[in-house]
Structure 1
Amino acid sequence: MNDSSDQKLERVMLETGDAPRHAVIWLHGLGADGHDFEPIVPQLASASRRPVRFVFPHAPVRPVTINGGMAMRAWYDILGVDIDRDQDMAGIRASIQAVDGLIDEQEADGIAPGNIVLAGFSQGGAIALRCGLARSEPLAGLIGLSTYLVEADGLPDWAGPDARAMPLFIGHGTQDPIVPVGLGEASARRLRSAGFDVEWQTWPMPHAVCAEEVQAIDGWLEKRLS
């Protein structure tokens, strides 16, 4: 089994121009891989207007308890149906460390933290929010799609000192049977009540991304990448 804590994550990388000064790191959901969100890049006018580096990492392959122990790409194990309660904290922390490493790589390559957006879908979104909010230096922004906040009860103790300066885009489908919209809404509400800058939107869709959501993300990204 691969362990995300002791090796660099494999990844897909796309650049929309030469010498990009902005980067978007996008984490896929359970059972997918880094190729899952590649098709979104040509749909983002915000990325076509300037050189942007997109980094789509592959999660490690690990057994997933709720799927009968089947091995698949996962940022952490899902131990039971109460996904916001039955949490694999060791796996979550290992993936946070690995994603922190990805962000550090972009910084070392000359992209400032304020020009890096961290995004994710489903459990990839859970890692994106938890990782990004804990950074000591704020990023350009965070995107969480069809997801929820892990370690929500510990907020804001584990958040970075300037995390409230980061804009957050959180989107969800109202017909989501995998991650109930109530979990996403409760996460957005908790973040807002703690003083974080949250844009919360929903669409009549299942556990997915729709064209209208992509358009909303594009408009949000335009402000973050300018």
Structure 2
Amino acid sequence: MLINMTKIKIAGVSLPEAKKAAILIHGRGASAESILSLAQYLSLDDYALLAPEAENGTWYPYSFMAPDLANQSALTKSLETIRGVWDQVIESGVFPENVVFIGFSQGACLSLEFAAQNAQKLGGVIAFTGGLIGEKILEEKYSGDFKDTPVFIGSSERDVHVPLSRIKESETLLSRMGARVKLLIFKDSNHTIRQEEIEWVNGNIL
């Protein structure tokens, strides 16, 4: 798939030279540049970093748990964008088991959704506040075997955008598909990325 490269920010190791790659997906109202700033805190020195940018700053217009038809058109387009970045990484010679998805909020949901719809052995999926997308989780949408891929989901137990119930439902399905899921759930109600999450990810996935 051809990608409009003006919509992708690239940093880190040159992709033709990289053995590892991270696909970073920003949240609603943010940008590729903003999610790339996470590289200051995450152990990504030996990774090629690719961050696609959503049109008008949003990957889909409504809540990730809105009725499916409400988000369908935009979500399909967004998943195709992620597929394009994935294809570029794989065609460069990076093996799937050396590719990590990293997302925050809307980007975390999209990271989990793309990975679950294309489950295979990956380097990891790091979801800072997110869950699988849809009014309900429909198991028939997902296929493949994660083959012990580490999946991290960190969040508040009272996050205003992502209910804890959906995070736990996502954990159940991802585990059933062969992922090794780690949840870090915090007592606060902040919609943010915490130092404890960064430390866990750096020590266990990256």
Compute the TM-score of the two structures, normalised by the length of structure 1.
0.77
Equivalent residue number for residue 64 of structure 1 = none
Quote the Cα distance in structure 2 between the aligned partners of 1:158 and 1:174.
27
Equivalent residue number for residue 57 of structure 1 = 52
Equivalent residue number for residue 86 of structure 1 = 67
* Structure 2 counterpart of 1:111, one-letter code: V
- Higher fraction of helix: 2
Equivalent residue number for residue 174 of structure 2 = 191
Q: Output one character per residue of 1:131-176: Cα deviation in whole Å (capped at 9) or x when no partner.
A: 1122264322212221121145322x33332235422111112342
Quote the Cα distance in structure 1 between the aligned partners of 2:178 and 2:97.
20
Q: Mind listing any 5+ residue stretches in structure 2 that lack a counterpart? A: none
Equivalent residue number for residue 58 of structure 2 = 74
CA 1:39–1:130 in 2, change beyond 3 Å: closer, same or farther?
same
Equivalent residue number for residue 134 of structure 1 = 117
CA 1:193–1:145 in 2, change beyond 3 Å: closer, same or farther?
same
Equivalent residue number for residue 218 of structure 1 = 202
Larger Rg: 1
Q: Is the 8 A contact 1:23 1:106 kept in 2?
A: yes
Query: Which residue among 41, 44, 48 is the counterpart of 1:47?
Result: 44
Equivalent residue number for residue 192 of structure 2 = 208
Quote the Cα distance in structure 2 between the aligned partners of 1:169 and 1:14.
23
* Structure 2 counterpart of 1:74, one-letter code: T
Root-mean-square deviation (Å) = 2.5
Q: Is the 8 A contact 1:25 1:117 kept in 2?
A: yes
Q: Mind listing any 5+ residue stretches in structure 1 that lack a counterpart? A: 62-72
Equivalent residue number for residue 36 of structure 1 = 34
State the identity %.
22
Bigger shift: residues 18-27 or 209-218: 18-27
Aligned residues, how many? Answer: 200
Within the alignment, does 1:13 sit opposite 2:7 as a pair?
no
